[in-house]
Protein backbone atom coordinates (compact mmCIF):
# COMPACT_ATOMS: atom_id res chain seq x y z
CA UNK A 1 0.00 0.00 0.00
CA UNK A 2 1.20 3.46 -0.75
CA UNK A 3 0.21 6.95 0.26
CA UNK A 4 0.09 9.67 -2.39
CA UNK A 5 -0.83 13.32 -2.39
CA UNK A 6 -2.30 14.64 -5.63
CA UNK A 7 -1.39 18.09 -6.94
CA UNK A 8 -4.72 19.47 -5.77
CA UNK A 9 -3.73 18.70 -2.19
CA UNK A 10 -5.76 15.52 -1.94
CA UNK A 11 -4.09 12.64 -0.18
CA UNK A 12 -4.81 9.22 -1.52
CA UNK A 13 -4.16 5.85 -0.03
CA UNK A 14 -3.76 3.28 -2.75
CA UNK A 15 -3.43 -0.45 -2.56
CA UNK A 16 -0.32 -1.30 -4.57
CA UNK A 17 -1.41 -3.50 -7.46
CA UNK A 18 -5.03 -2.41 -7.03
CA UNK A 19 -5.71 -2.76 -10.75
CA UNK A 20 -4.51 -6.36 -10.80
CA UNK A 21 -6.44 -7.11 -7.62
CA UNK A 22 -9.58 -5.55 -9.09
CA UNK A 23 -9.32 -7.68 -12.25
CA UNK A 24 -8.86 -10.84 -10.17
CA UNK A 25 -11.76 -9.99 -7.92
CA UNK A 26 -14.03 -9.24 -10.87
CA UNK A 27 -13.15 -12.65 -12.34
CA UNK A 28 -14.04 -14.21 -9.00
CA UNK A 29 -17.40 -12.41 -9.00
CA UNK A 30 -16.67 -10.05 -6.12
CA UNK A 31 -18.69 -6.82 -6.14
CA UNK A 32 -16.23 -4.03 -6.87
CA UNK A 33 -18.27 -1.65 -4.72
CA UNK A 34 -16.73 -3.52 -1.78
CA UNK A 35 -13.35 -1.97 -2.62
CA UNK A 36 -14.76 1.54 -2.78
CA UNK A 37 -16.28 1.08 0.66
CA UNK A 38 -13.04 -0.11 2.26
CA UNK A 39 -11.11 2.69 0.54
CA UNK A 40 -13.52 5.23 2.04
CA UNK A 41 -13.13 3.65 5.48
CA UNK A 42 -9.35 3.90 5.16
CA UNK A 43 -9.58 7.56 4.17
CA UNK A 44 -11.90 8.21 7.12
CA UNK A 45 -9.18 6.88 9.44
CA UNK A 46 -6.76 9.53 8.13
CA UNK A 47 -9.15 12.51 8.21
CA UNK A 48 -9.10 13.25 11.98
CA UNK A 49 -5.30 13.17 12.03
CA UNK A 50 -5.09 15.44 8.96
CA UNK A 51 -7.51 17.88 10.61
CA UNK A 52 -5.39 17.80 13.75
CA UNK A 53 -2.12 18.39 11.87
CA UNK A 54 -3.43 21.05 9.49
CA UNK A 55 -2.13 24.51 10.32
CA UNK A 56 -5.01 26.37 11.98
CA UNK A 57 -4.13 29.92 10.97
CA UNK A 58 -6.65 32.58 11.92
CA UNK A 59 -9.80 30.84 10.78
CA UNK A 60 -9.25 27.07 10.89
CA UNK A 61 -10.78 26.79 7.40
CA UNK A 62 -8.01 24.51 6.13
CA UNK A 63 -8.60 21.93 8.87
CA UNK A 64 -12.36 22.22 8.38
CA UNK A 65 -11.95 21.50 4.66
CA UNK A 66 -10.42 18.03 5.21
CA UNK A 67 -12.77 15.25 4.10
CA UNK A 68 -12.73 11.62 2.95
CA UNK A 69 -13.63 10.26 -0.46
CA UNK A 70 -13.00 7.07 -2.39
CA UNK A 71 -12.92 5.30 -5.72
CA UNK A 72 -12.64 1.59 -6.38
CA UNK A 73 -8.85 2.01 -6.47
CA UNK A 74 -8.08 4.55 -3.76
CA UNK A 75 -9.12 6.17 -0.53
CA UNK A 76 -8.78 9.92 -0.91
CA UNK A 77 -8.32 12.56 1.75
CA UNK A 78 -9.27 15.85 0.15
CA UNK A 79 -8.25 19.23 1.45
CA UNK A 80 -9.26 22.65 0.26
CA UNK A 81 -12.19 24.02 -1.69
CA UNK A 82 -13.13 27.17 -3.56
CA UNK A 83 -13.09 28.93 -0.19
CA UNK A 84 -9.75 27.30 0.72
CA UNK A 85 -7.75 27.35 -2.55
CA UNK A 86 -4.41 27.46 -0.73
CA UNK A 87 -4.57 23.89 0.67
CA UNK A 88 -2.10 22.48 -1.85
CA UNK A 89 0.35 25.32 -1.27
CA UNK A 90 0.23 24.81 2.49
CA UNK A 91 0.81 21.06 2.14
CA UNK A 92 3.43 21.17 -0.66
CA UNK A 93 4.91 24.60 -0.24
CA UNK A 94 5.74 27.13 -2.94
CA UNK A 95 9.51 27.66 -3.15
CA UNK A 96 9.28 30.70 -5.44
CA UNK A 97 7.33 32.46 -2.70
CA UNK A 98 9.38 31.06 0.19
CA UNK A 99 6.47 29.00 1.48
CA UNK A 100 7.78 25.80 3.02
CA UNK A 101 5.73 22.60 2.79
CA UNK A 102 4.02 21.40 5.94
CA UNK A 103 3.18 17.95 4.49
CA UNK A 104 0.39 17.69 7.08
CA UNK A 105 -1.72 15.44 4.82
CA UNK A 106 1.23 13.17 4.06
CA UNK A 107 2.12 12.95 7.75
CA UNK A 108 -1.48 12.14 8.67
CA UNK A 109 -1.46 9.17 6.27
CA UNK A 110 1.86 8.02 7.69
CA UNK A 111 0.78 8.44 11.33
CA UNK A 112 -2.37 6.40 10.82
CA UNK A 113 -0.84 3.77 8.53
CA UNK A 114 -1.14 0.90 11.04
CA UNK A 115 -4.88 1.50 11.38
CA UNK A 116 -5.73 1.80 7.68
CA UNK A 117 -3.43 -1.03 6.62
CA UNK A 118 -5.21 -3.26 9.14
CA UNK A 119 -8.55 -2.30 7.57
CA UNK A 120 -7.19 -3.41 4.19
CA UNK A 121 -5.74 -6.61 5.60
CA UNK A 122 -9.07 -7.50 7.25
CA UNK A 123 -11.05 -6.66 4.09
CA UNK A 124 -8.76 -8.67 1.84
CA UNK A 125 -8.93 -11.63 4.22
CA UNK A 126 -12.74 -11.50 4.20
CA UNK A 127 -12.73 -11.44 0.39
CA UNK A 128 -10.29 -14.36 0.25
CA UNK A 129 -12.47 -16.32 2.68
CA UNK A 130 -15.56 -15.61 0.56
CA UNK A 131 -13.76 -16.74 -2.59
CA UNK A 132 -12.35 -19.85 -0.89
CA UNK A 133 -15.76 -20.91 0.41
CA UNK A 134 -17.55 -19.97 -2.81
CA UNK A 135 -19.79 -17.60 -0.85
CA UNK A 136 -19.66 -14.45 -2.96
CA UNK A 137 -22.73 -12.95 -1.31
CA UNK A 138 -22.08 -10.20 1.26
Give domain limits for the chain.
Answer: 2-133
Q: Alpha-carbon distance 79 to 122, whole Å?
A: 27
Query: In this predicted structure, what is the pLDDT of residue 129?
Result: 83
Gap between the Cα atoms of 128 and 110, Å rounded? 27
Closest-CA residue to 11 (of 91, 102, 118, 94)? 91
The dihedrals phi and psi of 78, each to the nearest 5 degrees, come to: -95, 145
Averaged pLDDT, 27-48: 84
pLDDT at residue 4, as a whole number: 45
Specify the DSSP class assigned to residue 96.
Answer: G
Spatial contact of 3 and 109, defined as CB atoms under 8 Å apart: yes
Strand order in the sheet with 11-14: 2-5, 11-14, 74-78, 67-70
> pLDDT tens, 50-78?
999 999 989 999 999 999 999 888 899 99
10 band by pLDDT with thresholds 50, 70 and 90: very low
Residue 111, pLDDT above cutoff 70: yes
Q: What is the pLDDT of residues 116-137, one digit of tens each?
A: 999 989 988 887 887 777 765 6
Task: Output DSSP code: residue 95.
Answer: G
CA dist., res. 59 & res. 130, Å (int):
48
Q: Residue 97 gets which letter from DSSP?
A: G
Amino acid sequence: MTGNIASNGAASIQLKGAGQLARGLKKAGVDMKDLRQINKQAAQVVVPEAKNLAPKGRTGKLAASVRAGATQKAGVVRTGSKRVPYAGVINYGWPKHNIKPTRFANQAAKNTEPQWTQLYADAVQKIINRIATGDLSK
